[in-house]
């Protein structure tokens, strides 16, 4: 029996998408590739809800986020960064290391920083850009006021860059409507393709800036990608062809389902997880208004051992979930509720977690499966 992969990326990948990787190798300097790339770009625009340009990198999401920093930030630039988890921290650290000045607007993990504190940072400083992690994978929180940061940047003439690596395709994210200059995601999260391809959308304003300020490196130099795309519909460096074929197929699946249905399915599955596991005494890590629909984090009950819990889940039930990391290591478990997640995934995960909790003598009396099943009726 294969694993049910319920970690927050990589996710289970549909057979259609896996099989697309078997497409025979083509020359990446040929019309075959040019047509593939054009098709992927066109579909990616639909999924991003944008008219902006799209660049695809052969790299993980971290690589694409880094590309957004090294192309847009120069020495001394002041940058507002909401920080409420490890990925926000990592982003702010990268901006500082690269010579920028990250103005961290912090909150407790599990909550979102107050929007007023972000507004204040804009009022007190000459801000070049705001960088926001839309979904903080380390804590299972979503920054629900992304649109407001977009408005703020738009009004102040600042760039707005969204790290949407773990969420795009699984929750609302109309890139143009929310004034996002650069939006970054990755293939292996809510888009359910294998890892290794990371798309970015780039506004005309950002494109103009980065073309006239190229960074001192090559692989993530976005001006090079524009040059090759605009002249020949090619990538400057050899693309990971099988992953491009797979990503193309994954985009078809997203568009066939429709974004609206897909987002609703994620919300319903998330609701089922939160509701059902709460009844056996697990407390969601995130506050209600910050809870993510794509990464579900729960506190362990007192005395429950992380390693024992996840080993039992994996070895006895073939269900893979993630632990916490950074300062949450051992304190929370996290479920990836993304990509092709459906009612069978939720039921099997909830059932297995209930059984393992039982085996570890940490169960309360309520029965979560009926609750999950009731919630999941909302999925057609």
Query: Which part of the chain contacts a second copy (CB under 8 A), choosing from 36-44, 126-134, 190-198, 351-359?
Result: 190-198
Structure tokens at 146: 């992304």
3 binds a second copy (CB under 8 A): yes
Q: Which of 34, 63, 174, 348 binds a second copy (CB under 8 A)?
A: 63
Long-range contacts formed by 145-152: CB under 8 A, 24+ apart: 145/112, 145/115, 146/173, 146/178, 146/180, 147/177, 147/178, 147/179, 148/115, 149/82, 149/115, 149/118, 150/178, 150/179, 150/180, 151/179, 152/118, 152/119, 152/122
253 binds a second copy (CB under 8 A): no
Q: Nearest Cα to 92, choosing from 120, 113, 119, 65?
A: 65
Structure tokens at 26: 């083509």
Query: Least separation, in Å, of the C-beta of 341 and a second copy?
Result: 14
Q: Which of 134, 145, 220, 285 binds a second copy (CB under 8 A)?
A: 220
Kind of pairing, strands 4-5 and 182-184?
unpaired
Q: Which is nearer to a second copy, 18 or 304 (CB)?
A: 18
List the interface residues with a second copy, window 257-316 (CB under 8 A): 314
Binding-site size, a second copy (CB under 8 A): 55
Kind of pairing, strands 283-284 and 78-83?
unpaired
Q: Nearest Cα to 368, choosing from 274, 257, 269, 230?
A: 274
Count, residues in the chain: 380
342 binds a second copy (CB under 8 A): no
163 binds a second copy (CB under 8 A): no
- Distance separating alpha carbons of residues 13 and 28, to the nearest angstrom: 25
Query: Which part of the chain contacts a second copy (CB under 8 A), choosing from 13-21, 40-48, 247-255, 287-295?
Result: 13-21
344 binds a second copy (CB under 8 A): no
233 binds a second copy (CB under 8 A): no
**Residues in the site for a second copy, rule: CB under 8 A?**
2-3, 5, 7, 9-13, 18-19, 21-22, 24-30, 58-63, 66, 70, 90, 94, 97-99, 186, 188, 194-196, 216-220, 236-243, 246, 314, 320, 322
């Amino acid at each position: 029996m294969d694993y049910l992969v319920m970690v927050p990326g990589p996710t289970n990948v549909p057979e259609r998408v896996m099989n697309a990787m078997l497409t025979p190798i083509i020359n990446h300097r040929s019309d075959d590739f040019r047509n593939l790339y054009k098709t992927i770009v066109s579909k990616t625009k639909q999924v991003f809800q944008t008219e902006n340009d799209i660049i695809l990198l052969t790299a993980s999401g971290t690589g694409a986020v880094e590309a957004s920093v090294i192309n847009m930030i120069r020495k001394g630039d002041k940058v507002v960064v909401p920080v409420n988890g490890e990925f926000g921290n990592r982003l702010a650290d990268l901006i500082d290391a690269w010579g920028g000045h990250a103005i961290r607007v912090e909150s407790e993990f599990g909550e979102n920083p107050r929007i007023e504190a972000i507004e204040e940072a804009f009022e007190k400083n000459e801000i070049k850009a705001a960088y926001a992690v839309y979904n903080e994978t380390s804590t299972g929180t979503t920054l629900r006021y992304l649109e407001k940061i977009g408005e703020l940047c738009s009004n102040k003439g600042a760039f707005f860059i969204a790290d949407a690596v773990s969420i795009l395709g699984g929750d609302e994210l109309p890139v143009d409507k929310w004034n996002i200059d650069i939006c970054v995601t990755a293939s292996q999260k809510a888009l359910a393709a294998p890892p290794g391809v990371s798309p970015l959308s780039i506004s005309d304003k950002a494109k103009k800036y980065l073309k006239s300020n190229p960074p001192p490196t090559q692989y993530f130099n976005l001006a090079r990608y524009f040059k090759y795309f605009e002249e020949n519909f090619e990538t400057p460096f050899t693309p990971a062809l099988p992953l491009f074929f797979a990503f193309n197929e994954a985009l078809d699946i997203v568009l066939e389902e429709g974004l609206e249905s897909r987002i609703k399915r994620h919300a319903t599955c998330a609701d089922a997880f939160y509701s059902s596991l709460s009844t056996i005494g697990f407390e969601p890590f995130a506050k209600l208004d910050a809870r993510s629909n794509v990464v579900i984090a729960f506190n362990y009950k007192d005395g429950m051992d992380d390693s024992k819990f996840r080993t039992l889940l994996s070895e006895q039930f073939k269900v893979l979930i993630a632990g916490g990391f950074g300062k949450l290591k051992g304190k929370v478990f996290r479920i990836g509720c993304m990509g092709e997640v459906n009612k069978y995934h939720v039921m099997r995960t909830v059932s297995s977690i209930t059984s393992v909790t039982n085996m570890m003598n940490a169960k309360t009396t309520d029965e979560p499966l009926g609750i999950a099943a009731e919630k999941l009726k909302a999925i057609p």
